[in-house]
Chains A and B, each alone.
Chain A
Amino acid sequence: MNDMTTIERAVTTSEKKIDAKGVNVHYADTHAIKNVDVEIDDKTVTAFIGPSGCGKSTFLRCLNRMNDTIDICRVTGDILLDDEDIYHPKVDPVQLRAKVGMVFQKPNPFPKSIYDNVAYGPRIHGLAQNKADLDDIVEKSLRRAALWNEVKDRLDKPGTGLSGGQQQRLCIARAVATSPEVLLMDEPCSALDPIATAQVENLIDDLRSRFSVVIVTHSMAQASRISQKTAFFHLGELIEFGDTTQIFTNPVDPRTESYITGRIG
C-alpha cells in the first residue's frame, strides 16, 4: 500500500521537486544570499553557475540544511521539498538529508573499506534487511557510479587508497546507495583530472533518469554539457534562471552575458 502511494506521489509531483522562495542567508554580519527564488524539477540536472564567492555553494547547502552545522549561519525564507517546508521546526534534518544526498567538492571517503563506505548510508538508515540485501545495494550503487569493475576485487581495501577520480565516484556511489530523491553536487569535478571529469559527467547524465540532480560548477562548459536548467548567481543574488540552452545562447541579463563571455568572474 505504501509503495503505491509513494509511486503515486512521485508521479504527481514529478514536475517540481524543490521550490525555494525568498531565501536569505546571513553569516554573522554578512548577507550571503539575497532573496533567491528557484524551482528545481524532478529528473533534471540543474546547474548553479557564477563567480567564486557568489553564494552558489551556500545556497546548495541550504537545500539539505548542511548549513545547520555552522553555528553563525542563519537561513530565512521558504524551501519546500515536495510541498513540505524543510525548515519547519518539526523537520528532522537527518531524515531530510536521507532524501537529499550530497557529494562534495573534495572527495572525502571515510577511512574504512570501500564496501563499508558504500554500506554506511544503507546501514544507518536501515535500508537492508540482511547481508545479501546490503551486498546487493553496494553492488548496484558501485555499478551505477561506474566503479564496480575497478573495485569489485578489493572491496575490503580502504577507500582512501583509490585514485582521486575513483574516490569521487566512490563518494557518488555512497550517496546513491541511500537512494535519495535529490542529489546535490558541490563542484564534484574541481579536484579531478579531465579523464575522471568525463567519467563523472557521464555518470551525472545517467543519474538524471532516477533523481533530480543539482550541481554547482565553476565550468560553464560543464554546465552547458550536462544540465537542462541553469541558474546564474552573482554577489549573493540570483541573476537569471532558465533553460540551459537559453542562458548560454540568449541571456536576458547583461551580467549573465558578461560572465558567460568571460568578462566577469
Chain B
Amino acid sequence: MTDASSNTPRLTTSIIEPDPRTRRRNASERRFRAYGLAAIGTGIAALIFLVISIVSNGYTAFLQTYITIPVELSEQRLDPQGNRDPEEMARVTTFGYAPVLAMALQSHLIEQGIPMDGVNPRDLMAMISQEAPAQVRNLVLANPEIVGQTLDMEMLASGRIDGYFKGRVTLESAERDSNVSPAQLALAAAMAEAGLMDTRFNWAFITGPDASGQRPEAAGLGVAILGSLYMMIVVLALALPIGVAASIYLEEFAPKNRFTDIIEVNISNLAAVPSIVFGILGLAIFINFAGLPQSAPIVGGLVLTLMTLPTIIIATRASLRAVPPSIRDAALGLGASKMQSVFHHVLPLAMPGILTGTIIGLAQALGETAPLLLIGMVAFVREFPDAPPEGLFDPTSALPVQVFSWTQRADPAFVERASGATIVLLVFLVSMNLLAVMLRRRFERRW
C-alpha cells in the first residue's frame, strides 16, 4: 500500500484518449480564455461606441445652413443723415437692421413666387439667425459706401432651421416646439429647392468666437482654440525646462539623503493628486493671493504646468536612465566635468525620449478641464485675446471648457456644437500622440 499509484485511481493511462476530467478541465480552460477575450472586446467596443456617439452627434457642427438673398441696404434706414460717416451710422443698432433683412426676405420670396402659407412676417424673421443683423451691420460699418446698393447677402439660418436640414428637427418635433412651426420648415424646404438656402462647410465654427445661448448657429471655437494654444505655450515654456532641470538633478547629481527622498515621494504623489485640487491651488495662490486675473491663459498655463511636471519628470528620468553609464564614463575619462558629461553627452541622447514625454504631457494638459473651471475659464468670452505676452493676461476660454459650457446651455443645438468641439479636441490629441509615436519610432535606440 505504499505504492503511490495504488491510492490514485486513474481511469485511463492513455495520453491520446482524454479522460472525462481532462475534458471538463479543458472546457473550463476555454471558458476562462473566452472571458479574457470578452473583456478585451468590452474595452474595444466601449471605445468604438464612444467614438461613434461623439462623431455622429458632432459632425454636423462642421456644416451650417446659410440663406442667400439680395438685400437692399436702404439709405433711409441705415444712414438717416446720409453722410456715410461711420460714427453716425453706428447709432443705428442691430434692431434697426432686422427689419431691413425681414423686408428683403419677404419681397424676395414674393418675387420668386414661393408661397408663405401660415408664416407671418415675425415667423419669417425668426428663420434668420439673430446673429445676421449684427453681421450685416458690421459689414456696412466697415464699408459705408455700400449703403444704398442692393447686394447678395449671405446670412446664417436660425438654429432650428439649420437643425431641420441636419435631421435634428423634423415636422413632428416642430409640432411640439414653440420655437419653430411646421409651416416654417415647409417654407425652408421650398427655399432650399429654389436655391436660397444651402448647407455647407462651416469655417466659422473653427475660427469664430462663441455666441450667446439664443444663437447656437453662430457659436464658434476660435477664442477657445486660441486660449488653449496660449496655455500650451505657457506649459511648454515652463514645464519643459523645469522638468528637465529637475530630472537631471534627481537622476544625475542628487545625493541620497532626506531632501531628495522627500522630492521623490512628492513627485510620485503629485502625479496622483486629483486635478481639481490643482484648480483649488490655482484659485487660492495665483488668483486670490498673487492677484492674477481670472479666466486668463497665464493662470491656466501655470496650473497645467504644475500638473504636467510629474509626467515630464517621470518620462525624462526614464530616458536619462536609459543612456548607458558607459557614455558618462567615456566623457569623464576624457577629463570632462560631471556637468559637461551630462549636458554634452547624456542629455542629447535622452532628448527624443524627453520630447515624447513632453508631448504626451501636453496632450494631457490640453484635455484637462476641472482645474480650469475653478480659475474662471467658464466665463462667456467673445473677444479674441491680444497676441502674447499681453494676451496671456486677457480672458479667454479653453477647448475642453468650451465643451462643458456648451453642454450647460438649454438649446439642444448646443449638443451638436459640444460634440463638434470634442471632435476638434480629439483631432488635436490624436495628432499630438501620433507625433509622439513617430518620434519614438524614429529615434528608438536599443543599447
Contacts of B12 in A (CB 8 A): 2
* Chain A residues with CB below 8 A from B11, complex form: 2
Residue of A nearest to B18 (CB): A92
Per the bound structure, the CA–CA distance linking A82 and B12 in Å amounts to 13
Closest residue of chain A to B12 (Cβ to Cβ) is A2
A179–B15 touching, CB < 8 Å: no
Check B26 for interface membership: any CB of A closer than 8 A: yes
List of B residues within 8 angstroms of A3 by Cβ: 9
Most interface-central of B4, B7, B15, B16 (chain A CB within 10 A): B15
Question: For the complex, is B326 an interface residue (Cβ under 8 Å from A)?
Answer: no
Contacts of A6 in B (CB 8 A): 5, 10, 13
Taking the closest CB of chain A, its distance from the CB of B1, in whole angstroms, is: 10
With beta carbons under 8 angstroms apart, the residue of B7, B10, B18, B25 that contacts A137 is: B7
A9–B15 Cα gap in the complex (Å)?
Answer: 14
B26 in complex: contacting residue of A92, A122, A127, A133, CB < 8 Å: A92
**Chain B contact residues: over half helix, strand or loop, or mixed?**
loop
Query: What B residues does A122 contact at CB under 8 A?
Result: 8
**Residue from the list A9, A90, A179, A210 in contact with B16, Cβ < 8 A:** A90
Q: Does A136 count as interface, using CB distance less than 8 angstroms?
A: yes
A82 CA to B40 CA in the complex, in Å? 42
Instruction: Check A151 for interface membership: any CB of B closer than 8 A.
Output: no
Report the count of interface residues on A (CB-CB < 8 A).
30
B4 to chain A, nearest CB (A): 4
B257: interface (CB < 8 Å) = no
Does A66 belong to the interface (CB within 8 Å)?
A: no
Is B22 in contact with A95, judged by CB distance below 8 angstroms?
Answer: yes
Contacts of A213 in B (CB 8 A): none
Alpha-carbon distance between A86 and B16 when the two chains are bound, in angstroms:
8
Contact with A along B1-36 (1 / 0, CB 8 A): 011110111111111101101100110000000000
CB pair B22 A92 closer than 8 Å: yes
Q: Is the CB of A137 within 8 A of B8?
A: yes
Residues of chain A lying within 8 A (CB to CB) of residue B21 = 125-126
Cβ contact within 8 Å between B22 and A210:
no
23 contacts between A and B (CB under 8 A): A2-B11, A2-B12, A3-B9, A82-B13, A84-B16, A91-B15, A91-B16, A92-B22, A94-B25, A94-B26, A95-B15, A95-B18, A95-B22, A99-B13, A126-B21, A127-B8, A140-B4, A144-B4, A176-B4, A179-B5, A179-B8, A210-B3, A210-B5
Give A contacts to B, CB under 8 Å: 2-3, 6, 9, 81-82, 84, 86, 88, 90-92, 94-96, 99, 122, 124-127, 133, 136-137, 140-141, 144, 176, 179, 210
| Pairs of residues from A and B, 5 with the lowest C-beta to C-beta distance, nearest first | A179-B4, A127-B8, A179-B8, A96-B15, A90-B16
